[in-house]
Structures are given as C-alpha cells and as structure tokens.
C-alpha cells in the first residue's frame, strides 16, 4: 500500500477535526472558527517553541485559519529559547504579533510590564472553553491575558503492556506502594522496571514534583512554588524520602545509576518502546508528549492493552507492540491527592492589538486548530470544546479528558522558579546520585530559592 503523504494526512485531519467540532457539545461557548472574523487579509507574525514535526503540526492546525481569514501566518520556531528571544524582542521594540510561551510565569511578568494585551473583551464567552484552573493560570490582576492552546499532562507513567504481562502483572498500580511492589515483581521476572529520564535535570524535576504533589497536595505545592513554604519543610522531606525508595534501588533503573545519569529524553522512552529489538525496561515517567516519540519509533505501536486487530501485545516492535499509561499514584495514606494533576502547556499572548492578532487569538481559543493537531497525535488540549473524537485512540483521549476535567491542576513547579530553575535541576541530579543526602539538598535548594525569589 502506498504511504499517505503528510499533505494528505493534514487535509484528512482538518476535515475530521472540523466534523468533530461541528458535532461537539451544543453547550460549549464556541464550536466554530467563524469567530475569527471572516476574510481579513494581511499577515501576522507568530512565535512559539515548536520546531521540527511539532512546527509542521502547528502550521497544519493553522491552515483553516489562513483559508477562512485570508491572513498569512509568518511563523518562527524559537525552541527552548522562546522566553529569552521574546524578552529581547520586546526590549528591542520588535516583538511578534502573537507568541505562545511555555509557562505562566512569563505571562505574569509581561502582563505586569504592560507588554501584552488584555484579552478579556477579545475572548468574551470563548473563555468558557476552559476550566477555572486553566483560566486562573492565564490571569493577572483579574484580567485574562492568555489562551492555553496546548496542554501537557505529566500525571502519566507510560508502560509496555507486554512486559507487564510477562511478569504476571494483570493491571497497573494504583498506589505508590503497589508501584514499588510491581517494580520488584518485574525485576524478579528479569525485566528492569524503570527507564529514568535525566537529560539536564528537567525530567527529574517533573518526577519529584509529581511525588511532592501526591504526598503534600496542591495547596502546599503552590506554596512551595512561590517559596511561601520552605524547602526544608517536613512535606519536602517526606517527598524526598518517598522518591528515595525508588532511587535507592539502582537495580530498578535501566543501566543502573550511571546509566540513568546519561539517559536523556527522548532516548529514555526508546528503552521502553524501542524501534527495533527488545525493551530494556518496562516503564518510563514523563508527560503525554512521549506519545510522539513512541509512535515515531514504529507506526505499529497501538495505544491500549491490545495490539493491531485485537492481537496480544508483543515486546517485538515489528509485530503487535502496545503502549499505555497509568496515573501517577499517591501513597495509600495520601490517596486524597490522587485527583491532583501536574502539567504544563503553551499559552498564546497578544503583543500587538491588530485585527489579525484578535482573529488568531479567537481561533486558538476555539476547537478547530486544536482538533487538527489532536488528530495528528502528540497533542492534548485543555479546551473543553475540542471533541474527544478528534483524538486517534482511547489512550490519548483519556489523557486529554484528564486535562480538561482536572479539578486540581498545578503547573510544573520548576518552570515557576525563575533564575534558579537550572540549579534545581542539578540539585535533583545530585539527589539521584545520593538519595540519603536529603538534608543537604534541601538546605541548598532553600538558599537558592531565597536568593532567586527574594524571600
């Protein structure tokens, strides 16, 4: 069979997304991109962090907008330097018309400076496409300054169902204690439990933050994020001790301690869901964006616990391989915190108030663009108007539903730390190397937070 071209896939995704939006809930504030304002013409400059395949998918999501409005989108992918590039452009007097940034801290800073526009009246009822938790993250001084176009659920541990079956594990764990028990059962069956992502430290930060959220709860998490709670607090110690139960078992980690320290993202994902050969581990923790890596390794990977055609899942990626996730579990004593979700996302900001900018902001707040990217994969939207039928399988659908329905959602804590974020990453690498040195790590982190945040 001839492979489907990327252009054909984009056209199919656009058609499917628009159909799904048309069939969406009639109670949603907007289920049509007509709010973008009809034919306007002209051009608009847009910056975001997405490059490579993500850039292509974003541009595909904007195709209906360009067609409907006659506006030409001039996009620039700034990668991990988006915030820095945007700050420099603002200082130089030449910012883009619209920018999507990966953290609410940047939104807060730019809103305080008066560098971005109040979107309250621009969006109107479109703000109802988002739950209160998401709108609050885009609010400064009671005014709405952003639209969350892309979300990321980091409440996810991804596992290879065939490896679980081989170890006699019939269902994923629902508590931290069960997770450790399953890790022991996997090891006894000759399967390394975890592939740990280290990179330059941010995946370890995501891991620790999930543990802290599940141990301490959302209120203390948010207090720690603003340093209204010290890093030497007992809740912090409890989280380190809990994570230490895993990190102090090097045999549970693919490659042991040294192998883990040199295991960057996304190669850590490849060890659980390889392109060829057998998996080197059964589980990997990271956000839902790992799906792009998994399905990029082999189109044969199927979401869920059955392979193509209902066949049994195999460890062989050339046969009927599978992938699935389970929610990051809280210790049984802290089960009340299981409903809290840590995540991230990209929020659209308007730096120049033009008809083109307003049209794009409205489009991004509607369902059509997000539905297209959702259909292409590797994407989850916190927008309630995006129909779940836009997602290609039950796994990504469940992931997105968790984002939309999150009653308690907290943003990645490290992304809110400002100048000491990279120090925090290194602190957690140091903890991985010496899980017994909790007090030293905590004291260092509290000093760094005080210096960076001023209190």
Q: What is the pLDDT of residues 295-314, one digit of tens each?
A: 989 999 999 999 999 999 99
Predicted confidence at residue 438, as pLDDT, reads 97
Question: How confident is the model over 371-411, as pLDDT tens digits?
Answer: 999 998 889 999 999 999 999 888 999 999 988 888 789 99
- Residue 323: what are its φ and ψ, rounded to 5°? -145, 150
∠ at Cα 120 (114, 125), nearest 5°? 165
On whether the CB atoms of residues 196 and 272 are closer than 8 A, the answer is no
Q: What is the pTM of this model?
A: 0.85
pLDDT tens across 68-104, in order?
999 999 999 999 889 999 999 999 999 999 999 998 9
What is the tens place of the pLDDT at every residue in 145-197?
999 999 999 999 999 999 999 999 999 999 999 999 999 999 999 999 999 99
According to DSSP, the residues that pair with 342 across neighbouring strands are 410
d(CA 218, CA 195): 27
Q: Decide the pairing of beta strands 43-48 and 72-77.
A: parallel
Q: What is the pLDDT of residues 309-328, one digit of tens each?
A: 999 999 999 999 999 999 99
User: How confident is the prediction for the chain on average, in pLDDT?
Assistant: 91
Measured CA to CA, the distance from residue 45 to residue 246 in angstroms comes to 46
Residue that the structure tokens 């300054």 belong to: 145
Tell me the C-alpha distance between 20 and 136, whole Å: 28
Architecture field, domain 156-340? 3-Layer(aba) Sandwich (3.40)
Q: Looking at the predicted structure, is the pLDDT value of residue 344 above 60?
A: yes
pLDDT: which is higher, 425 or 23: 425
Does residue 2 register a pLDDT over 60?
no
Q: What percent of the chain has pLDDT over 70?
A: 92
The CATH code of the domain at 6-153+345-400 is 3.40.190.10
pLDDT tens for 243-295 read 999 999 999 999 999 999 999 999 999 999 999 999 999 999 999 989 889 99
- The token pair that represents 176 in the structure block: 């931290």
Q: Where in the chain is the domain with CATH 3.40.190.10?
A: 6-153+345-400, 156-340
pLDDT tens figures, 47-71: 999 998 899 999 999 999 999 999 9
């Amino acid at each position: 069979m001839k492979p489907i071209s990327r252009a054909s896939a984009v056209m199919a995704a656009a058609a499917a997304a628009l159909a799904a939006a048309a069939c969406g809930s009639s109670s949603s504030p907007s289920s049509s991109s007509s709010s973008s304002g009809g034919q306007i013409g002209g051009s608009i400059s847009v910056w975001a962090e997405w490059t490579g395949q993500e850039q292509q998918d974003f541009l595909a999501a904007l195709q209906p907008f360009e067609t409907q409005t006659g506006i030409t989108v001039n996009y620039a992918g700034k990668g991990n330097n988006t915030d820095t590039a945007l700050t420099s452009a603002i200082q130089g007097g030449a910012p883009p018309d619209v920018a999507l940034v990966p953290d609410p801290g940047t939104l807060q800073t730019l809103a305080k400076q008066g560098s971005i526009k109040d979107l309250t009246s621009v969006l109107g009822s479109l703000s109802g496409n988002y739950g209160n938790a998401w709108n609050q993250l885009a609010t400064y001084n009671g005014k709405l300054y952003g639209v969350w176009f892309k979300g990321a659920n980091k409440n996810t541990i991804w596992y290879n169902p065939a490896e679980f079956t081989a170890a006699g594990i019939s269902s994923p764990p629902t508590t931290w204690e069960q997770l450790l028990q399953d890790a022991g059962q996997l090891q006894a069956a000759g399967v390394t439990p975890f592939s740990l992502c280290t990179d330059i430290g941010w995946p370890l930060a995501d891991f620790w933050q999930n543990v802290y959220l599940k141990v301490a709860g959302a209120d203390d998490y948010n207090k720690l994020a603003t340093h209204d709670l010290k890093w030497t607090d007992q809740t912090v110690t409890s989280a380190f001790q809990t994570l230490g139960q895993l990190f102090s078992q090097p045999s549970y980690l693919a490659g042991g301690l040294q192998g883990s320290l040199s295991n960057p993202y996304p190669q850590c994902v490849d060890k659980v869901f390889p392109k060829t050969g057998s998996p080197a581990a059964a589980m990997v923790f990271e956000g839902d964006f790992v799906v792009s890596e998994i399905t990029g390794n082999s189109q044969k990977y199927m979401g869920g616990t059955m392979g193509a055609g209902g066949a049994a899942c195999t460890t062989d990626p050339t046969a009927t391989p599978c992938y699935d996730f389970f929610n990051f579990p809280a210790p049984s004593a802290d089960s009340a915190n299981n409903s809290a979700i840590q995540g991230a996302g990209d929020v659209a900001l308007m730096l120049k108030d033009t008809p083109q900018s307003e049209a794009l902001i409205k489009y991004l707040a509607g369902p059509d663009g997000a539905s297209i990217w959702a259909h292409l994969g590797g994407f989850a939207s916190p927008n309630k108007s995006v129909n779940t039928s836009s997602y290609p399988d039950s796994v990504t659908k469940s992931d997105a539903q968790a984002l939309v329905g999150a009653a308690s959602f907290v943003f990645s804590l490290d992304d809110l730390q400002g100048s000491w974020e990279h120090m925090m990453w290194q602190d957690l690498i140091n903890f991985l190397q010496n899980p017994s040195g909790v007090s030293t790590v905590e004291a260092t982190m509290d000093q760094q937070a005080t210096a960076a945040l001023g209190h």
